């Protein structure tokens, strides 16, 4: 049993004090905010968030902020470079003994899938190749959510978005960012979801104790973008895992490990039918072909693993 | 104090070294690369303390420059042309962070067509971003201006990043004798960087560069930047005077060369102004009362100083090494707006565009421009703007086109039929 598992054996081991303030302008039921709450409780307030343009940019609106630590908004494409500048500057100040070790901060990039999967990928790749000591959190709501859910490189096949309104939804396929990141051989890569807080806590705790690039993708169920009632967020998040649509996995020391096997794995349509963005697969008539294709791709993923 | 032969790029690297820059985010681009190569070598061999990181783009480089400055270290960076434009979003962004640092731009014409040689469209595209701008004409000035720029940038009344500009090739790769000021004297002059509240520390959580909602807070912060930039006028004079007292070289906001008793002046920035100086000397020998005014400080723009310097002149030939399509020379517009309504008698202004993409401006052209402005002053009306180009140059381009045409026809003849 690893140290991070020892700290978080069961739900009651999770932090009981919550660091992120309330009253933010995030939508009700935001799965990204749910994950961020859980992550922040473990990373703690000796952090500086380096934010890329996206929904979470609105967490800190002058003169208010829900974070107890520090924050820097950068731009959509270059948050990892902003993190590099802060990390390097802190290291220079530490080396020169201009600041004490107690003044040091964990540098944490906070970015949506629009930046992480697309515009910011080059800066992210650069930060990994330079072995930057930082934590990277992508809250992935599978589209450009802040602008009204247009499709992005993270949008799943068949989903209706503001720019894929046709009867078959989005024609492309969700980019495998986990594998793209893992190919850089960083210290750590993990997928998490707020609806599985114990798995998330163990991974963030592990990331916290490592050095180098620690890359986290949190699937972020999005009531407004995915079109469902906000109270369903946790349930939909759980279904993403149970259906195998969102594999919970981590990459460490050159190996990929699945941390929660969906067993028994339930049909993917249990997940799809709860969301308005997939309603065209069921109404006015069942799109058996597309449903079959989506199920087949999930089955193919798991066939080598289960 | 020692003198050595240095290129403009070499002088820029020495400026950063003598200012004791802690952190150098870098990205190579012609004609700037020699600057980061020199700094990298010094850091690698231990000749200079500090840390250099090569990024994957200028956009990232400028982001890191801003965020490191916002964490409280002294930052130096350098770029050129397409690189400056690739980083343009971040130039505007980091200026708003009020995190001071110095960025050297080695001017180079912009695409399209792509070229390597200099003009000022790159740096003037950054005119409105909140960086202050100092323009250099000699290698000595490059080194000195970097030291001055740190004082200006880090002044509590200013706290804005500063661009120090030099021309690609004409300065970047030209060796001139440069006096290397004493290391300790430089350290004393520049001082240490006091980040005050612009920094990140665990014991003092800080949210920087947060979003605003609505025009009220937005305008507040934008006006703050404007006021800070305008404070730069007085601060610049103060730090340039301080520099002159220590090092014996005065680099004013505007260089005035033989202009005091002049009836006519050339107005030009950058290294090409040294060609104008040469023309002034020759015209003076031929009996002209003519001089040169060279803007060094372009942002903030010392409008009152320009009004004073041009008061009583009969005419000014403003030679822009840049082109704002659909309008004309940028410097011409700036000078005209500085003068409007200021003096009872205004000089006639004549606008010339030349030196684009490193195109030379010959002594004959300077004489011609002097003639144009004298005639215009006598008539009392501004002549239409002129784009400098000679019949010979046009013939050379026509020759290239003819060669291309002949080659194309030749290839067409040899193409297999069917």
Residue B399 lies in a domain: no
Residues B157 and B48 in one domain: yes
What does pTM read for this prediction?
0.97
Contact between B124 and B135 (Cβ < 8 Å): no
Query: B210, B215, B216, B219: best mutation site toward chain A, by most A Cβ within 10 Å?
Result: B210
Contact between B268 and B254 (Cβ < 8 Å): no
Least trusted range by pLDDT, from A2-11, A248-257, B1-10:
A2-11
Mean pLDDT of B335-360: 93
B418 pLDDT band (50/70/90 cuts)?
low
Which pLDDT tens digit goes with each residue over B246-276?
A: 999 999 999 999 999 999 999 999 999 999 9
| CATH number, domain with residue B25 | 3.40.50.970
Which pLDDT tens digit goes with each residue over B195-232?
A: 888 899 999 999 999 999 999 999 999 999 999 999 99
Query: B23, B50, B55, B97: best mutation site toward chain A, by most A Cβ within 10 Å?
Result: B55
Contact B66 A85 (CB under 8 A): yes
Instruction: For residue B86, give how far its alpha carbon lies from the nearest alpha carbon of chain A (Å).
Output: 12
Residue B46 lies in a domain: yes
Strand-pair partners of B351 = B318
Q: Which domains does chain A have, with CATH numbers?
A: 3-303 (3.40.50.970)
Phi (first) and psi of residue B105, to 5 degrees? -110, 125
Contact between B356 and B119 (Cβ < 8 Å): yes
Query: What is the predicted pLDDT for the residue at A63?
Result: 95
A210 pLDDT band (50/70/90 cuts)?
very high
Residues B386 and B292 in one domain: yes
Residues B20 and B155 in one domain: yes
Contacts of A130 in chain B (CB under 8 A): 53
Q: Using CA of residue B66, residue B69, residue B71, residue B73, what is the dihedral sign? A: positive
Which pLDDT tens digit goes with each residue over B79-89?
A: 999 999 999 99
Residue B295 lies in a domain: yes
* CA A117 to chain CA mean position, Å: 11
Residue B87 lies in a domain: yes
Instruction: For residue B73, give how far its alpha carbon lies from the nearest alpha carbon of chain A (Å).
Output: 6
The answer on pLDDT for A1 being more than 70 is: no
Contact B217 A75 (CB under 8 A): no
Residues B93 and B35 in one domain: yes
A57 pLDDT band (50/70/90 cuts)?
very high
Contact between B51 and B82 (Cβ < 8 Å): no
Contact B56 A122 (CB under 8 A): yes
| pLDDT > 70 fraction of chain B, expressed in percent and rounded | 99
Contact B71 A86 (CB under 8 A): yes
Residues B220 and B77 in one domain: yes
Residue B405 lies in a domain: no
Question: End of a domain among B187, B215, B247?
Answer: B247
Query: What is the predicted pLDDT for the residue at B282?
Result: 98
If one counts the domains in chain B, the total is 2
Residues B60 and B123 in one domain: yes
Which pLDDT tens digit goes with each residue over A86-99?
A: 999 999 999 999 99
Residues B239 and B375 in one domain: no
Closest-CA residue of chain B to A103: B202
What is the rounded CA–CA span in Å between residue A140 and residue A177? 11
| CATH number, domain with residue B298 | 3.40.50.920
Residues B223 and B368 in one domain: no
Of B57, B67, B71, the CB nearest to A122: B57
B142 pLDDT band (50/70/90 cuts)?
very high
Residues B223 and B322 in one domain: no
Instruction: For residue B67, give how far its alpha carbon lies from the nearest alpha carbon of chain A (Å).
Output: 5
* Token pair belonging to A12: 């009651």
Which pLDDT tens digit goes with each residue over A97-137?
A: 999 999 999 999 999 999 999 999 999 999 999 999 999 99
* Token pair belonging to A151: 């499709």
Of A79, A103, A125, the CB nearest to B201: A103
Residues B133 and B18 in one domain: yes
Strand-pair partners of B177 = B5
Which pLDDT tens digit goes with each residue over B288-323?
A: 999 999 999 999 999 999 999 999 999 999 999 999
ipTM of the complex: 0.97
DSSP state of B89: H
Which pLDDT tens digit goes with each residue over B270-294?
A: 999 999 999 999 999 999 999 999 9
Residue matched to tokens 């006006």:
B223
Q: How many other CB atoms are there within 10 angstroms of residue A57's CB atom?
A: 19
A-B contacts (CB, under 8 Å) = 148
What is the rounded CA–CA span in Å between residue B312 and residue A88? 54
Residue B313 lies in a domain: yes
Residue matched to tokens 């690369």:
B33
Contacts of B206 in chain A (CB under 8 A): 70-71
* Token pair belonging to B39: 């700094």
Structural domain of residue B342, as residue ranges?
A: 259-390
Report the SS3 class of residue A134. Answer: strand
Sheet holding B254-257, edge to edge: B254-257, B290-295, B264-267, B315-320, B348-353, B386-387
Residues B51 and B158 in one domain: yes
CB within 8 Å of B340: residues ≥ 6 apart:
none
Q: Helices B58-69 & A79-95, crossing angle to 10 degrees?
A: 40
Residue B253 lies in a domain: no
What is the rounded CA–CA span in Å between residue A294 and residue A269? 9
Residue B201 lies in a domain: no
Residues B318 and B356 in one domain: yes
What is the rounded CA–CA span in Å between residue A224 and residue B60? 32
Contact A81 B61 (CB under 8 A): yes
Number of H helices, E strands in chain A: 10, 8
Query: What is the predicted pLDDT for the residue at B198?
Result: 85
A251 pLDDT band (50/70/90 cuts)?
very high
């Amino acid at each position: 049993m690893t140290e991070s598992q020892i700290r978080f054996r069961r739900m009651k081991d999770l932090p009981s004090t919550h660091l992120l303030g309330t009253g933010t302008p995030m939508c009700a039921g935001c799965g990204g905010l749910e994950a961020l709450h859980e992550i922040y409780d473990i990373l703690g307030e000796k952090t500086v968030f380096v934010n890329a343009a996206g929904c979470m940019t609105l967490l800190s609106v002058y003169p208010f902020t829900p974070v107890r630590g520090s924050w820097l908004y950068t731009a959509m494409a270059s948050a990892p470079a902003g993190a590099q500048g802060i990390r390097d500057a802190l290291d220079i100040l530490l080396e020169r003994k201009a600041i004490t070790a107690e003044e040091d901060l964990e540098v944490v990039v906070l970015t949506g899938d629009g930046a992480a999967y697309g515009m910011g990928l080059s800066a992210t790749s650069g930060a990994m190749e330079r072995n930057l000591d930082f934590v990277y959190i992508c809250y992935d709501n599978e589209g450009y959510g802040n602008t009204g859910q247009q499709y992005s490189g993270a949008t799943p096949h068949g989903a209706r978005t503001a720019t894929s309104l046709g009867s078959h939804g989005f024609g492309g396929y969700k980019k495998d960012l986990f594998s793209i990141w893992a190919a850089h051989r960083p210290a750590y890569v993990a997928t998490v979801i707020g609806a599985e807080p114990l798995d998330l806590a163990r991974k963030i705790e592990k990331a916290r104790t490592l050095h180098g690039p620690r890359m986290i993708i949190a699937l972020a169920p999005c009531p407004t973008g995915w079109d469902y009632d906000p109270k369903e967020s946790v349930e939909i998040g759980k279904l993403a895992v149970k259906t195998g649509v969102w594999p919970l996995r981590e990459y460490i020391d050159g190996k990929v490990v699945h941390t929660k096997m969906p067993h028994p794995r339930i049909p993917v349509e249990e997940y799809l039918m709860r969301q308005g963005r997939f309603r065209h697969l069921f109404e006015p008539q069942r799109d058996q072909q597309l449903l079959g294709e989506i199920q087949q791709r999930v089955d193919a993923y798991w066939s080598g693993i289960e | 104090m020692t003198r050595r032969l240095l290129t403009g790029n070499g002088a820029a690297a020495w400026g950063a070294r003598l200012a004791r820059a802690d952190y150098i985010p870098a990205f190579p681009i012609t004609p700037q690369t020699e600057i980061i190569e020199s700094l990298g070598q010094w850091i690698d061999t231990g000749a200079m303390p500090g840390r250099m990181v090569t990024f994957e783009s200028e956009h990232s480089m400028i982001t890191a420059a801003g965020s490191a400055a916002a964490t409280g270290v002294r930052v130096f960076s350098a770029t050129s042309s397409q690189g400056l434009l690739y980083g343009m979003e971040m130039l505007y962004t980091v200026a708003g962070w009020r995190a001071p640092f110095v960025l050297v731009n080695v001017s180079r014409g912009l695409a399209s067509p792509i070229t390597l040689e200099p003009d000022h469209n790159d740096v003037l595209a950054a005119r409105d971003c909140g960086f202050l701008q100092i323009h250099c004409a000699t290698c000595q000035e490059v080194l000195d201006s970097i030291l001055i720029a740190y004082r200006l940038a880090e002044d509590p009344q200013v706290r804005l990043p500063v661009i120090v500009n030099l021309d690609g090739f004409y300065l970047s790769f030209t060796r001139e004798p440069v006096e290397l000021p004493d290391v300790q004297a430089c350290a004393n002059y520049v001082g240490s960087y006091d980040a005050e509240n612009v920094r990140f520390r665990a014991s003092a959580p800080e949210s920087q560069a947060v979003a605003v909602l609505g025009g009220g807070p937005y305008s507040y912060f934008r006006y703050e930047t404007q006021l800070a930039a305008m404070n730069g006028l007085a601060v610049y004079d103060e730090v340039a005077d301080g520099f002159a007292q220590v090092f014996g070289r005065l680099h004013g906001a505007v260089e005035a060369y033989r202009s005091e008793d002049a009836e006519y002046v050339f107005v030009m920035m950058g290294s090409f102004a040294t060609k104008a100086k040469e023309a002034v000397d020759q015209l003076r020998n031929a009996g002209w009362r003519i001089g040169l005014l060279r803007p060094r400080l372009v942002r903030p723009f010392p409008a009152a100083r320009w009004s004073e310097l041009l008061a009583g002149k009969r005419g000014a030939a403003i030679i822009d090494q840049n082109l704002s399509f659909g309008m004309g020379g940028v410097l011409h517009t700036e000078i005209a707006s500085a003068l409007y309504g200021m003096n009872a008698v205004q000089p006639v202004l004549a606008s010339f565009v030349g030196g684009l993409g490193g195109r030379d401006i010959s002594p004959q052209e300077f004489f011609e421009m002097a003639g144009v402005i004298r005639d215009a002053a006598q008539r009392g009306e501004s002549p239409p703007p002129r784009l400098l180009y000679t019949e010979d140059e046009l013939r050379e381009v026509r020759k290239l086109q003819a060669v291309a045409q002949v080659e194309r026809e030749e290839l067409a003849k040899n193409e297999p039929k069917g």
